[in-house]
Amino acid sequence: MCGIAGIFHLETAKPVDPARVRLMTDAIAHRGPDGAGVWTAPGVGLGHRRLSIIDLGGGAQPMLTEDESLAVTFNGEIYNFAAVRKELEAKGHRFRTNSDTEVILHGYRQWGEECVKRFDGMFAFALFDRHAQSLWLVRDRLGVKPLYYAQVSDGSLLFASELKGLLVHPLLRREPDVRAVEDYMAYGYVPDDVCFVAGARKLGAGETLRLVRGKGLPAPQRYWDISFADRTNAREPALEEELVSLMRAAVHSRMVADVPLGAFLSGGVDSSSVVALMAEASPRAVKTCTIGFDVASLDETAYADRIARRFATDHRTRIVSPDDFGLIDRLAHHFDEPFADASALPTFRVCELAREEVTVALSGDGADEAFAGYRRHLFQHQGERVRSLIPASLREPVFGRLGRWYPKADWAPRFLRAKSTFIELGQDGAEAYAASVGVTPHAMRQRLYSDSMKAALAGHRAEDRYVRAMRDAPAQEPLDRAQYADMKIWLPGDILTKTDRMSMAVGLEAREPLLDHRLMEFAGRLPVNMRIHGNSGKYLMKKAMEAYLPQDILYRPKMGFVTPISDWFRGALAKEAAGIAGGSALARTGWFDLKAVATAAADHKSGMSDHGRLLWQLLMLDRALGRVFNLG
């Protein structure tokens, strides 16, 4: 697990200043506190910051082949590197180290670009081929590891693990992309197909980009995608057995490390499943850790303690206050782009706790996306069943009218909050789902934006991304389409960005066994009733884990990390909320109607409305503007 950066001249082999590459890697030094390296040749420079996990003495980077015709800088882990190495050795390749990095070099030499399809892992790497005068950028299938790139005025292409690695280059133009602002205001994060800085890009999950000297910047190429187009005919017992086998293999492969290893444990289905399978494979007590809160309704430590006792883990718990907004500036530094998922705060704290004793921690990320574990998946599935019973020509007149007339009642019990349900039932299924995954609705954004911002957006609407993804999904049913869109947009944009930045902030490697691509492909073939059964999501996974976990762990309501942001903006952060419409960086952009922003802050403080998430979004956008564009 590391940070990578570099420069490649597309037109001519201009000299690359090693100091400039070093400046880029220094900007992401937190990703690799154990070592640094820079290598340059005519027209190319590769940089690396190392967090040592495998082959502590021999895995230094950038790494070259013995004849120096290939060079690579690599962030991540290839879990099946030993098997790939054995195959390559049988073909005559000779290795000088025991690292997974060297497998990339020999794999490329043997199979060319097809080698990436043999690698099982989380990774982003850049490989320079001297004979072809090319640079090959690669990102793992699900997008666990990030990779930013940008072309600048001298004809060079810059790349780095984080945006801050590009920002230190003097030729990168720092101009905001208003489309990214619209997307951020809708989702609470900037999706992978756009960047906060105009001209900068992110390589997508499952994509490669091959740059050849003397040619222009090409479009990325996709080498992997999840499909929901096929269905398995296997019976439930056989599917349970296959699922446990896949999960076991994924967990075991991610336990290979030459440094202390542990796991995050919340006491929920996903992390408990990972810990159960780790305990099965480990001769020693698995090291686990949990963050608890001093508010009973938010605290899951009792569930985590039960799992820790059940599997005799070496367990540590730390109680923190939900009022952890003192981390705001640190979050803004590590995310670079605006990021408003407030669960980043407790995620940072659990990574911080884990890092005190381990260097690698396994997490439970990915199961909700693969097996339909979010409540919105259940609501989408149920909503589509209702829509199928009523002709489209009647849905909008009936449900749309009810939605417009039904009073908004955020304060009421859930069963009385029918306004949004009626509105969604009156919409096309893709439109309804696109709205359900958002943070700030389109109508609210339109009230907040200035006339100049609306003009600059030129019709760009964030929800269209989800609608397109669902429309074009390799899928059979509406639930498939919703899950596919989540895996393409929400998973890399929110969940994996949060885990990567917060773990790397403290020099911790987080591994996600439930994002093993074979496990994801298996989930995509499941019939809908093996994902959602009655009112329960993740049906097959829960059934399969009944042999390991108690019923009240498997079937208790999902909690997750919760932060009381609405309370913050009526208390300690009330002045921050009011200041957003005043002399803030955000106010100087001209993007927002400041009176509308001030009204939202005042209505929230008075209790008239709940705009806590909106105010958190605006505050984090303000901080990002200050850091990235020096608008403080």
Give the residue numbers marked as catalytic.
2
Are 103 and 83 spatial neighbours (Cβ–Cβ below 8 Å)?
no
CA–CA dist 597, 581 (Å, integer): 6
Instruction: Match 């984080």 to its residue by tokens.
Output: 162
Q: Which two tokens stand for residue 378?
A: 């259940």
Angle between helices 478-485 and 429-436 (to 10 degrees): 40
C-alpha dihedral sign at 278, 492, 374, 600: positive
Question: Residue 103: phi, psi to the nearest 5?
Answer: -65, -35
C-alpha dihedral sign at 333, 204, 145, 27: negative
Query: ω before 492 within 30° of 0 (cis)?
Result: no
Cα 321–324–327 angle (5° rounding)?
A: 150
Q: Give the residue from 503, 522, 521 showing the smallest Cα distance to 512.
A: 503
Q: Are strands 70-78 and 63-64 parallel, antiparallel or unpaired?
A: antiparallel
Are 499 and 350 spatial neighbours (Cβ–Cβ below 8 Å)?
no
Q: Give the residue from 491, 268, 479 showing the smallest Cα distance to 381.
A: 479
Strand order in the sheet with 2-9: 35-41, 44-50, 2-9, 156-160, 148-151, 200-202
Instruction: Match 């005799």 to its residue by tokens.
Output: 312
Measured from the Cβ of residue 440, the count of other Cβ atoms closer than 10 Å reads: 20
Question: Where does residue 61 fall: left (phi above 0), alpha (psi -120 to 50 degrees), or beta otherwise?
Answer: beta
Amino acid 601 reads A
